[in-house]
Amino acid sequence: MGQVQSEEDSEVGISQIQELYKKFADECPSGKLHLHEFKRIFGITSNSTAEESAYMENVFRSFDANNDNTIDFMEYVAALHLVLRGRLEDKLKWSFKVYDRDGNGKLDKQEVKHLIKIIYKLRQHDRQHDTEKLSPDQICDRIFELLDQNNDGQISLQEFIEGAQKDKWVLEQLRLDLRPTGWFIDHQAKKS
């Protein structure tokens, strides 16, 4: 019997990761990756949608650990490792950081709704997420119903991680790594 390999089972090889490191050095000889370069590496151009651009800006901000508006080589390596090989809990911590735009350690409805709207637009082109016809507002409300355990109108990191690990629907809605391994493998295949 043939088996279908899921994305989670796919591994990105060391040689493929080394190729990305090489690309960083080629693109950023200064050792600093700026937002426009980051977008270019991930295929975001002037023809990309506003949602794709906004999503990549949020991702960029989350990887800029020292908040200097650049990603240095170590931040880049950490980002690649997390997205391509990281554990679910680490990815959820990263996702929480992307959602937490003001950095206060809590998610309010405005923060969640902002990213849900971006993800909703991006996923409109992805038929596998087309099973439920909920609006971004409905998705946000449902997430808060399921995760905000103490009903304080905010989601803590602990509530975020526990809720996503317990409920597959919540995990699917909160995931920010929209097929990174699959994207990377597809991108490498196009180069060959």
Final residue before a domain boundary, out of 35, 60, 85: 85
Confidence of residue 7 (pLDDT cuts 50, 70, 90): very low
Are 156 and 146 within one domain? yes
Are 56 and 42 within one domain? yes
What is the domain extent for residue 42? 13-85
Number of structural domains (the chain) is: 2
For residue 159, give the 3-state DSSP assignment.
Answer: helix
Confidence of residue 151 (pLDDT cuts 50, 70, 90): very high
Residue type, 46: S
pLDDT by residue (tens digit) across 59-82? 888 889 898 999 988 888 788 778
What is the secondary structure of 105-152 as a DSSP string?
A: SEE-HHHHHHHHHHHHHHHTT-GGG-S----HHHHHHHHHHHH-TT-S
With CA atoms as reference, report the closest residue to 124 among 114, 142, 136, 111: 136
Examine residue 22 and state whether it is found in any structural domain, yes or no.
yes
Is 73 or 106 the better-scoring residue by pLDDT? Answer: 106
Are 78 and 147 within one domain? no
Examine residue 35 and state whether it is found in any structural domain, yes or no.
yes
Examine residue 39 and state whether it is found in any structural domain, yes or no.
yes
Look at the block and give the residue holding tokens 């508006």: 69
Final residue before a domain boundary, out of 61, 85, 109: 85
Q: Is the pLDDT of residue 97 over 50?
A: yes
Average pLDDT, the chain: 78
What are residue 69's DSSP bridge partners? none
Are 75 and 47 within one domain? yes
What are residue 72's DSSP bridge partners? 32
Final residue before a domain boundary, out of 85, 111, 133: 85
Are 165 and 102 within one domain? yes
| Per-residue pLDDT, 51 | 77
Are 147 and 96 within one domain? yes
User: Do residues 38 and 45 make contact, with C-beta atoms less than 8 angstroms apart?
Assistant: no
Are 80 and 124 within one domain? no
Examine residue 183 and state whether it is found in any structural domain, yes or no.
no
List the single range of 3-12, 69-78, 90-99, 114-123 with lowest mean pLDDT: 3-12
pTM above the 0.75 mark? no
Are 103 and 165 within one domain? yes
101-124 b/e with 16+ CB inside 10 Å = b? beeeebbbbebbbbbbbbbbbbbe
Q: Is the pLDDT of residue 32 over 50?
A: yes
CATH number for the domain harbouring residue 49: 1.10.238.10
With CA atoms as reference, report the closest residue to 177 among 84, 75, 114, 112: 84
Confidence of residue 145 (pLDDT cuts 50, 70, 90): very high
Examine residue 188 and state whether it is found in any structural domain, yes or no.
no
